[in-house]
Chains A and B, each alone.
Chain A
C-alpha cells in the first residue's frame, strides 16, 4: 500500500508525524519504507537520526533517480544505520524500516515530464513488491510532486493508495486543509484532471490533526477558569468550522496531541523516551500506534 503524506502549509508536523507512523507500523511487524519526496527540504534523515543524510544524500537521492541520473535510488536501513543507539537494534518481531532519502540541495521539482512519471511508476511498483507499506512524504501545498504522484497512481490501478492530509488545529489550517483537497488545483481537482475518479479519490483522503491541545489535557491544569472556558469555546468553534469544511470527525483518521519533544526536536519517539527517560508523553505514542493501525484498517476508510 502507498500512503501519501501532504499538508496545507509547512510546519504542520507532517514529516515528524508520518515518520513516527511508519516507525510504529514497523514495530507492529510490517516491512515499511519511507520516501522523502519533500524535494525542497529533504530532512527525513534527521528525524530518523541518520546524520550522514540529515539534509538529503549526496548520491543516489530520489531527486536524482526521478531525473534519470541513477538507475536505483539509495536505501538506508534504519535498524542498522541510525545514529541513535535505541534505534540500532531491530526489536524482535519488527519488520524492515528503510529510508529512501531525497537529494541534498535537490530543490523542488520545476516541472513533471513523462519520463519522470514513468520512473515514479516503476519505483512505486518495485517497492510494492517488497514492502507492506510505503509512506511518501509529498511536501506542503500544491506542487509538481503532488501532481506527479497523482499521475503515477492512475497508472497503477491495482496498487492500493491513500492520502493523509496533515493540519494543525487552528482556523487558518482547517480552512487551508479543506482548500488543499477541494479547492482549485487541489487534490481532487488535479486528480480528476489526470484521470482519477473524484469520488473514489475523495474516499481515499483522510485528515490528521497535529499538535492538538485538548481542553481537558493535563498541561492545562494550572490555567485559570476563565482561560479554560475560553479555550473550550475556541475548540467548539473550531469543531463547527471543521464540520462545515468537511474536515470534521468523520473525515479525520486521528489526532496527535501536542508534545514538547515533537515541537522542540523533531524525532522518532521510542518507547524508551516514554518509559525510561520520560521526555515524551504516553498519549503521543498511543496516538502514533493508533494511526499506524488505522492507515491499513479498511473499516476506518469506508466511504464517507
Chain B
C-alpha cells in the first residue's frame, strides 16, 4: 500500500567531529553486529537495522480506526563524524488474515506492518503527514530514541559547539508516476511525499535520510547566520558567531552522496525548486564574505597601529 517513515537529524553532542573508529564504537552499542562505514565522498557510518514490534492504531486522516501489527525498521547513523540521524520506517500492507497472527509470522517480514480491514493508502498517507494523533503509531518517538542512544554514548563529551534543535522529516512513499513534494511546517517539522516507479526498496529510505540531512544542514546554517545578527553588531562579534558554521558545517554539504542512480532525479528536481544547493551556496558565500571582510578590517587596523608606532 505505502511506506511511511520518519527521520530525525541533529548535531552530535561532542566538541569536535569524531573519527571513524569512534563512530563505529558509538553505533555498535545498538547491537553486536557490525557497523557499516563508507568513506567517500563523506564519512558515513550506520548501525545495523533493528526491529521494533508494534500493535497499534495507525493514523488515518478520516479518523477511522485502522489497526496495524508488525515491525518497524530503525537505525542510527553518523555523517561526517558530526551529524546524527535516527531513522525508522515501515511498509504498510493489507493483512491476509482478519486477526492477529503469531509473532513468528511478523518477524519473518521485517519492516512490514499488516493492517486489518478496510484502509485506504491515501487516508493513511494524509493521516501520517498531518500531525498524527497521540494514541497512534509514532515512528518519530522510535527514531528519537535511536538518536538518544547515540547522544548518550559515554564516548561523547557532550560539549557541542553550538545549540541547535533536531529536525524531523516525516515521509510517505508510494508506487506510481514519479513525483516528490517537500513541505516545511513548523521550525522543526517537514513532510515529504514521494511517488516512485517500481517496488519500494531501502534505497528510497536512503534518499529520505539524505534529504533530511541536507535540510537540517540548511536550517542549522540559517539559524547560525540569524544568531550572528550581521550588521546589527560589531563585525568581529558577528564573525565570531559565524565561526561554528565554518568549523563544523560548511564541509558537510554533499547532496545525493548515497542516493541510488535511479532515484537521483528526485534530488535534482528538489535542487531545481526550491533550490537546496543554490540557497546553501549563497549562505556559504555570505559566511565566507563576512569572515573575509572582518579579516580585512582587522588587518587594516593592525597596519594602522603599526604605522602609528613608527
Using a CB–CB cutoff of 8 Å, the interface residues on chain A facing chain B are 29, 31, 59-60, 70-72, 92-93, 95, 122, 125-126, 128-132, 158-159
Q: A125-B151, A129-B13 are in contact. Are A31 and B163 (CB under 8 A)?
A: yes
CB of A289, distance to nearest CB on chain B (Å): 18
A71–B232 contact, CB under 8 A? Answer: no
- B1-47 residues at the A interface, CB under 8 angstroms: 10-11, 13
B 147-175 binary contact with A (CB < 8 Å = 1; else 0) = 01001100001111001111000000000
The interface residues of chain A, by DSSP majority, are classed as loop
Q: Which of B138-146, B176-184, B267-275, B300-308 contacts A (4 or more CB under 8 A)?
A: B138-146
The reply to whether B232 and A92 form a contact with Cβ atoms under 8 Å apart is yes
Q: Are A130 and B134 interface neighbours, CB within 8 A?
A: no
The answer, yes or no, to whether B229 is at the interface (CB within 8 Å) is yes
Contact (Cβ within 8 A) B229 A92:
yes
Interfacial chain A residues near B141, Cβ < 8 Å: 71-72
Q: Which among B140, B159, B232 is the interface contact of A93 at CB below 8 angstroms?
A: B232
Residue of B134, B140, B166 touching A129 (CB-CB under 8 A): B166
Of A29, A70, A71, A159, which is in contact with the most chain B CB atoms at under 10 Å from its CB? Answer: A71
Between-chain CB contacts (< 8 Å), 24 pairs: A29-B227, A60-B134, A70-B134, A71-B134, A71-B138, A71-B141, A72-B140, A72-B141, A92-B232, A93-B233, A95-B227, A125-B148, A125-B152, A126-B148, A126-B166, A129-B13, A129-B151, A129-B163, A129-B165, A130-B163, A130-B164, A130-B165, A132-B163, A158-B159
* Measured CA separation A125–B164 after assembly (Å): 13
B140 and A71 contacting across the interface, CB-CB below 8 Å: yes
**Nearest CB in chain A to that of B186: its residue:** A77
Residues of chain B within 8 A (CB-CB) of A132 are 163
- In this complex, the member of B11, B158, B166 whose beta carbon has the largest number of chain A beta carbons within 10 angstroms is B158
* Contacts between the two chains (Cβ within 8 Å), count: 47
Contact A129 B160 (CB under 8 A): yes
Beta-carbon contact of A93 and B158 below 8 Å:
no
A131 to B163, CA, bound (A): 6
If A70-B134, A129-B163, A130-B166 touch, does A158 touch B157 (CB 8 Å cutoff)?
A: yes
- How far is B164's CA from A131's CA once the two chains are assembled, in angstroms? 7
Asked whether, in the complex, the Cβ of B227 is within 8 Å of the Cβ of A122, the reply is: no
- What's the Cα separation between A95 and B140 when bound, in Å? 26
A130 to B140, CA, bound (A): 18
In the complex, what residues of A have CB within 8 A of residue B148's CB?
Answer: 122, 125-126
Interface size on B, residues (CB 8 A): 23
Q: Give complex CA distance A129, B163 in Å.
A: 6
Chain B contact residues: over half helix, strand or loop, or mixed?
A: loop
Closest partner residue, chain B, to A64 (CB atom): B134
In the docked arrangement, what's the CA distance between A159 and B158, Å? 7
The 9 closest A-B pairs by CB, nearest first: A71-B141, A158-B158, A130-B165, A71-B138, A130-B163, A70-B134, A93-B229, A132-B163, A31-B163
Q: Is the CB of A129 within 8 A of B10?
A: yes
The one of A29, A60, A72, A159 in contact with B144, judged by C-beta atoms closer than 8 angstroms, is A72
> How far apart are the CA atoms of A122 and B232 in the complex, in Å?
37
State in angstroms the CA–CA spacing of A71 and B131 once bound together.
Answer: 14
Shortest B269–chain A CB gap in Å is: 31
Q: How far is the CB of B133 from chain A (nearest CB, A)?
A: 10
The complex places the Cα of A159 from the Cα of B157 at a distance, in Å, of 10
The CA-CA distance from A237 to B164 in the complex, in Å, is 48
Q: Kindly list chain A residues whose C-beta atoms are within 8 Å of the C-beta of B164.
A: 129-130
Which residue of A has the minimal Cβ distance to B233?
Answer: A93
What residues on B are CB-neighbors of A59 within 8 Å? 134
Give bound CA distance, A126 to B13, whole Å: 10
CA distance A125 to B84 in the complex (A): 15
Smallest CB-CB separation from A93: which chain B residue?
A: B229
A219 CB to closest chain B CB (Å) equals: 38
Residue of B nearest to A60 (CB): B134
Task: Quote the shortest CB–CB distance from B91 to chain A (angstroms).
Answer: 22
Residues of B near A159 (CB, < 8 A) are 158
Measured between beta carbons, the chain A residues less than 8 angstroms from B144 are 71-72, 126
In Å, the complex CA distance between A70 and B11 comes to 24
Task: Find the B residue at minimum CB distance from A122.
Answer: B148
With the chains together, A95 CA to B162 CA distance in Å?
Answer: 13
Distance of A126 Cα from B232 Cα, bound (Å): 31
Q: A241: shortest Cβ distance to chain B, in Å?
A: 41
In the assembled complex, how far is the CB of residue B265 from the closest CB belonging to chain A, in whole angstroms? 34
The chain A residue sitting closest to B158, CB to CB, is A158
Cα-based distance from A92 to B157 in the complex (angstroms) = 33
Determine how close the nearest CB of chain A comes to the CB of B226; give it in whole angstroms. 10
Distance in angstroms from B42 CB to nearest chain A CB is 22
* Complex CA–CA separation, A159 to B232 (angstroms): 32
